[in-house]
Every structure is written in structure tokens, then in C-alpha cells.
A = this chain, B = another copy of it.
Amino acid sequence: MAMTRLTPQRAAILEYLDGNTDHPSAEDIYRAVRRRYPMISLATVYNTLDALKQEDAVMELSIDTARKRYDPDTRPHNHLICTTCKRIVDIRVRLPLRLPKSEQSGFKITGKHVEFYGLCPDCQDAQV
């Protein structure tokens, strides 16, 4: 499904995603967009996310096993994840990394992603 029409629903979703660094789930997006556009359906959120994925305007993250998370920043970058609250934070520095040919198992490499795990400041405090 190519994104041939920019409907008001899609515009609302795009506006919410633009510059968003929260890595929201589909449900998060649905709840946020519904505030401005109360009649929108969750199915439309999923449809729009599919369309955006196809044109590489959004990236699906497999970080959180409970639900997919979405990132409007599709440039290669890495993430820092709180193992308690599942907050995802962007890492802005480049992490130079090469996989030696001998370790590529015959794969044609197309990308990479580094995940750092830890406790975010809020969850460190709550831990006391």
C-alpha cells in the first residue's frame, strides 16, 4: 500500500511522529492522535504505519518483546533501553563496528544495530 493520499488521519499521525524520540507503540500513537482526532481507528494507525514502513519513513523496532515500537528517525543509529520501564533513548554518536568477513557466515550484510541495556535515572531512584 503506497501512501498515495495524505488524509487528515495520516497527517495527524505524521505530525505526532515528526521529531518524536519516544519510540512509541501503535497504542501510544493511537492514544495521542485520538486527542486531536477522536474518531480515528486503531486499524488506521496500523495501516498508516505499514505505509510509512514501505516508504522508509518509519522504522519498526524489535526491542520490546511486548509490543512493536516505532521510530520516525530512519537514519542508522543505536539505542539505550531501560530494562525496567522499557524506555528507549537514542544514541547519537557513531559506534564504529565492522564484522570480519570470516564471521559473516556467507551473509550479505545490509545493516546493524547496537542495543545497550541498563537502568534509566527514574528506575534507579525507584529501586531504593
Q: Which A residues form the contact surface with B (CB < 8 A)?
A: 60, 62-65, 68, 80, 82-83, 89, 91-93, 95, 97, 99-100, 103-121, 124
Contact = CB atoms under 8 A, between A and B. Distances in A.
B113 A107 contact: no
Copies in the complex: 2
13 contacts: A80-B99, A80-B104, A80-B105, A82-B107, A91-B99, A91-B103, A92-B103, A97-B114, A106-B124, A107-B116, A108-B118, A111-B118, A112-B117
A124 B104 CA distance: 14
Q: At the interface, is chain A mostly helix, strand, loop or mixed?
A: mixed
A117 B106 CA distance: 12
Given A108-B124, A111-B117, A113-B117, 10 more contacts: A62-B62, A65-B68, A93-B99, A105-B120, A106-B121, A109-B116, A110-B117, A113-B115, A114-B114, A114-B115
Nearest to A66: B62
